[in-house]
Chain A
């Protein structure tokens, strides 16, 4: 039985072609107010991409990995969210998280993303822009 599973796994891997790992940076640009909380959603429409891991971002306020559903690992969709009650909040263009993904085949994933919400200290929603930076091969 185990041998059968191994053969099937090997066959599915070979059938899918080569796979590569990449890092995707999640950045939020909050030009007017310091960023205290965010929630984003990201999805690969092509089905080639699997999420393999999640890291925190650059500023101290978002250095810890954000909240995410563990089921997102090995899926092509993830919701990330984090907040900070620190008084030292970043502003401007901020790398808030990084996700590691496995991409099967030679094609590129078709990533769709949306900023669900961004807020400043006190929970007030702010104008912000989500930027997805693809490409760093690992």
Chain B
């Protein structure tokens, strides 16, 4: 019978001769004796490996928690930082580069962001750019005060 030929469902299960089945059972039935020292060594190695996995898992869990906490802290700091009016580039200070950034934004977009309407006149235009620039050159600021 070739392997690729379909097996007929009605074909009877082949049976081993009784003597062969008995000999096979005797050979496989009894496991060779394992010395207790080998048994203990295997158990110890397994315990160590499992302990290592547990430590790595715990470390990974802590690292994940620490990363999440750091991200939350950064997010909170960024959100809680008082937003300086006119700080378009978000570097924490207002200088001519903020006015320049808004001027470029107005030139580039037909519909600039509404939150750029710094003077509250309903339009984002050159007046807002001028407001930022005048904030930048205000004498109450600067190093030589």
Please report A residues at the B interface, Cβ cutoff 8 Å: 36-39, 41, 43, 66-69, 71-72, 75, 77-83, 85, 112, 114, 116-117, 119, 122-123, 125
Please list 22 pairs of residues, one from A and one from B, whose beta carbons are closer than 8 Å in the complex, sorted by A's number: A39-B96, A66-B137, A67-B96, A67-B133, A71-B139, A72-B139, A75-B139, A77-B144, A79-B136, A79-B139, A79-B141, A79-B142, A82-B96, A83-B96, A83-B99, A85-B103, A114-B144, A116-B96, A117-B97, A119-B97, A123-B89, A123-B104
Given contacts A67-B96, A67-B130, A114-B143, 17 further A-B contacts (CB under 8 A): A37-B97, A39-B97, A43-B144, A66-B137, A67-B136, A69-B138, A69-B139, A71-B139, A77-B145, A79-B139, A80-B137, A81-B99, A81-B137, A85-B103, A116-B95, A119-B97, A125-B97
Chain B, residues 125-142, CB within 8 Å of chain A (1/0): the string is 000001001101111011
Please report B residues at the A interface, Cβ cutoff 8 Å: 89, 95-97, 99-101, 103-104, 107, 130, 133-134, 136-139, 141-145
Decide: A119 near B136, CB < 8 A? Known: A39-B95, A77-B144: no
Smallest beta-carbon distance A57→chain B, Å = 15
Smallest beta-carbon distance A37→chain B, Å = 5
Chain A's closest residue to B108 (CB) is: A85
Chain A's closest residue to B106 (CB) is: A85
